[in-house]
Chain A
Amino acid sequence: MIAWLRNPWARPRALVVVTGAYILWSLLPVALAVMFAFNAGRSRTTWQGFSFRWFTSQVGVFHDPALQSALKHTLLLGVICVAVATPLGVTLALGLQRWRGRGAGTVNTMMLLPLVTPEIVMGVALLLLFLKVFPGLGLGTVPQAIGQVTFTLSYVVVIVRGRLVSIGKEYEEAAADLGAPPHDQILRVVLPLLAPAIVASAAVVFALSIDDFVVTQYLSGAPSTTTVPMLLYASARGAPTPALNAIATVTLVITLATLSLAFLVYRRFAGGGDAAVVAAMEM
C-alpha cells in the first residue's frame, strides 16, 4: 500500500489479489462440477476416482432415455430459434437502421423492451397468451420456440446494428451511384458485409436458447419438452447421480464451442475486433 502511494502507476497489489480471488471464486466451483461429471462413484460430493461411466454407461448422458430426450430437445429448440430469430432480427435491424421519422422510436423501444423485462414477466405473459389467445397450439415445442425467439430477437438486432454502424453508408451509396437497385444494394453489398455479424448473432442466439430456463419452463408441456436447464432445476436438489453434472458439462462444451467458433469467424472476416459487436456479444 505504501509502495503504491509512492508510485501510483505501479501495480496495485491489493487489486491483483481481489481480482485473482474473484476469478478463482467465480470459476472454481464450475470446474469442480465438471470434474465430478467424471467421478467413478455415485456421489456428487466425494471423489471416488476417474471414469467416463456417467457419459457412456446405460445410465449415462448418451444412453439414458430421459437425459437423451432433454439434450435432443434443447438442441432442437436451439436450431429452430436460430433459424427464425436470425433472419427476423437481421431484417428488423436493417429496417430500423434506415427508418427515419414516425414510428421508428416506438419500434426501437419495443425492440429493446424484452432485454430489460424480468424473464418471469415474459414467462407469465407468454403462458397466458398461449392458454387464452392460441389455445389450439397447446404448450410444448412450438410455444417454447416462439418464446425463445421473442427474447433472442433483440440480441440479433443489437449485434447487427453495431456492425451496420461501423460499416457506414458509403458502400451502399457507392452501389446506388453505380446504378444498383435497392434490393441489389441490400443483397449484394450490405448482406456480405454483415455476414460476420450474422454468424456472431446466430451463435449468440443458439447459446441463449440452450441456456434459457424461465420462458422455456413456463411454456413446456409434455415431459418430452423438458430441456437440460429444466432438468438441472428439477433434480439439482434431489439425489441424482453425477450424470446430472455430465449433461451440464455436455451443454457447456456445446455453448462454449459455438461461441468460440463464431468469435474466430468474426475476427477473421470482420477485419479486426469490432468493439460494438464484441461488446454486444459479451452482453
Chain B
Amino acid sequence: MQSRWTWRLLASPGVLWLSVFFLVAFYAVVAVAFGNQDTFSAPVPFWKPWDWNVGYMLAVLRDLWSGGQYLTVFVRTFVFVAVSLALSLLIGYPVAYYAARHVHGRWRGIVLVSLILPFWINYLMRMLAWINLLSPDGWATKVLHWVGIDHVFIWLGLLANEGGWLDGQPSTVILALVYGYVPFLILPLYASLDRIDQRQIEAARDLGAGPFSAFRRVTLPLSVPGILAGSVLVALPMFGDYYTPDLVSASPKTNIIGNQIDELTRQGSEKVTGASLTLVLSAAMLVLMVYYLRTTRAAGAEATAEA
C-alpha cells in the first residue's frame, strides 16, 4: 500500500504547469479585460478584483445590446457555425453510419484510415489545396463552371460573379468550414454508431419494424449522444476560427468573432477590448464546454468501471 502522497507528488509538475499556463493565463485575460490602457494603448491589467475597471467590458456589452458591429459579427458567427454544422451532419452521418455498420473485413481498415487521414493533414494545407483549386483559373473553378454549378450559385445569390469563389463569399467560407471540420465530426459519430448493439436493431426488425422505422426508432435515438458530442466537438473550434475566413475570403463582410478578436489582440493595439470580447466568447462557449466535459467524464468513469 502506498502513501496517498506518492500520487499527488507525481501529478504535481503537470498540475503546476496547467495552473500557471492555463489558469493564470486565463486570469490574465480577465485582468486585462477589467483593466485599463496607457497612453500608448498598451494594456494595463488590474490583478485585484476590487480595482477592476468595468468600462471596456461595458462598452462591448453596450455595443452588443444596441446592435452594433460586435452584434453583427456575433450573429454572423452563429449563422455560419449553425449552417456549417447542419451541412456537416448531413454529410458526416451517412458516412459514419456506413463505416460503422456496413463495412467489414479488409475494406473496414481502408475506409477507417481514409476517414482518419484528413485529421493528420495540416488544416492550413487542406485550405491551401482549395485556394489553389478555387482560384479563377483553378481546376475546381473550371469543373464547377463546366457542370454549371457556378451559375446555380449566382442565380441563388450565393456567388457574385463567375470564378469569384475567393472574393469574400459567405457561401465559400461555409463550405470551407464544412470541409475543414467534417472529419472531426465523423469520428465521434462513428464511435457512437459502432457501439450500438446489433441485436437491438435485429429485435426491432423481428418485431416487424421496417428498415426505415428500425433506423428512425432504434438506431437514430441511440446515436443522439454521439451526434451531440460530435457537434459540440466541432462547434467549439469553429467558434474560435479566424483563419478559414481569412484564407478563403479575406473580406470584412465574412468576419466572424475570431477575426474580430484576432484583429484587436494579435494584430491590433486594442488588446483591452479584445480581451473583453474573448471573455464574452468564453462565456458563450461555457455551456458547450461543460456539456462535453460531463459526457467525457461519464464515459471515462464507465471505462474505468469496466476495467
- Listed in ascending order, the chain A residues whose CB lies under 8 Å from chain B are 4-5, 8, 11-12, 15-16, 18-19, 22-23, 25-27, 29-30, 32-33, 36, 44-46, 88-89, 91-92, 94-101, 103, 107-114, 116-129, 131-133, 146-147, 149-150, 153, 157, 162, 165-166, 168, 176, 182, 185-186, 207, 210-211, 213-214, 217-218, 228-229, 232-233, 236-237, 244-245, 248, 251-252, 255-256, 259, 276, 279, 282-283
Q: Is the CB of B132 within 8 A of A36?
A: yes
Residue B50 lies at the interface, judged by CB distance under 8 Å to chain A = no
Contact of B240 among A33, A45, A121, A185 (CB under 8 A): A121
22 examples of A-B residue contacts, CB within 8 angstroms: A4-B211, A8-B211, A18-B91, A23-B114, A33-B132, A45-B135, A45-B139, A92-B11, A94-B7, A96-B7, A97-B7, A120-B262, A120-B281, A121-B282, A121-B285, A127-B266, A129-B24, A132-B28, A233-B247, A237-B131, A252-B121, A279-B191
Which parts of B259-296 form the interface with A (CB within 8 Å)? 261-262, 265-266, 271, 274-275, 278, 281-282, 285, 288-289, 292-293, 296
Nearest opposing residue in chain B for A146, CB measure: B21
Q: Is the CB of A182 within 8 A of B6?
A: yes
Q: Is the CB of A99 within 8 A of B8?
A: yes
CB within 8 Å for A132 and B45 given contacts A29-B133, A33-B128, A95-B7: yes
Q: Is the CB of A19 within 8 A of B99?
A: yes
Q: Is the CB of A126 within 8 A of B123?
A: no
A131 to B121, CA, bound (A): 32
Nearest opposing residue in chain A for B237, CB measure: A118
Q: Is the CB of A19 within 8 A of B14?
A: no
Q: Is the CB of B17 within 8 A of A112?
A: no
Contact of B205 among A8, A92, A96, A256 (CB under 8 A): A8
Q: Is the interface of A mostly helix, strand, loop or mixed?
A: helix
Q: How far is the CB of B67 from chain A (nearest CB, A)?
A: 24
Q: How far is the CB of B250 from chain A (nearest CB, A)?
A: 6
**Which residues on A sit within 8 Å (CB–CB) of B23?**
110
A30 to B258, CA, bound (A): 25
Contact of A124 among B24, B182, B275 (CB under 8 A): B275
A186 to B10, CA, bound (A): 11
**Which residues on A sit within 8 Å (CB–CB) of B140?**
29
Q: Is the CB of A282 within 8 A of B187?
A: yes
Contact of A26 among B17, B124, B183, B281 (CB under 8 A): B183
**Which residues on A sit within 8 Å (CB–CB) of B111?**
19, 23
**Which residues on B sit within 8 Å (CB–CB) of A124?**
29, 261, 265-266, 274-275, 278
The 6 A-B pairs of least Cβ separation, nearest first, read A118-B240, A95-B11, A92-B14, A33-B129, A95-B10, A125-B25
- Listed in ascending order, the chain B residues whose CB lies under 8 Å from chain A are 1-4, 6-15, 17-19, 21-26, 28-29, 31-32, 43, 45, 91, 94-95, 97-99, 102, 111, 114-133, 135, 137-140, 166, 179, 182-183, 187, 191, 205, 210-211, 214, 232, 236-237, 239-243, 246-247, 250, 258, 261-262, 265-266, 271, 274-275, 278, 281-282, 285, 288-289, 292-293, 296-297, 303-304, 307
Q: Is the CB of A29 within 8 A of B130?
A: yes
**Which residues on A sit within 8 Å (CB–CB) of B43?**
128, 131-132
Given A101-B4, A116-B236, output 5 extra A-B contacts at Cβ < 8 Å.
Answer: A12-B98, A19-B95, A19-B111, A22-B182, A129-B24
**Which residues on B sit within 8 Å (CB–CB) of A110?**
15, 18-19, 22-23
Nearest opposing residue in chain A for B249, CB measure: A237
Q: How far is the CB of A45 from chain B (nearest CB, A)?
A: 5
Q: How far is the CB of B237 from chain A (nearest CB, A)?
A: 6
Q: Is the CB of A213 within 8 A of B123?
A: yes
**Which residues on A sit within 8 Å (CB–CB) of B262?**
120
Contact of B98 among A18, A129, A157, A256 (CB under 8 A): A18
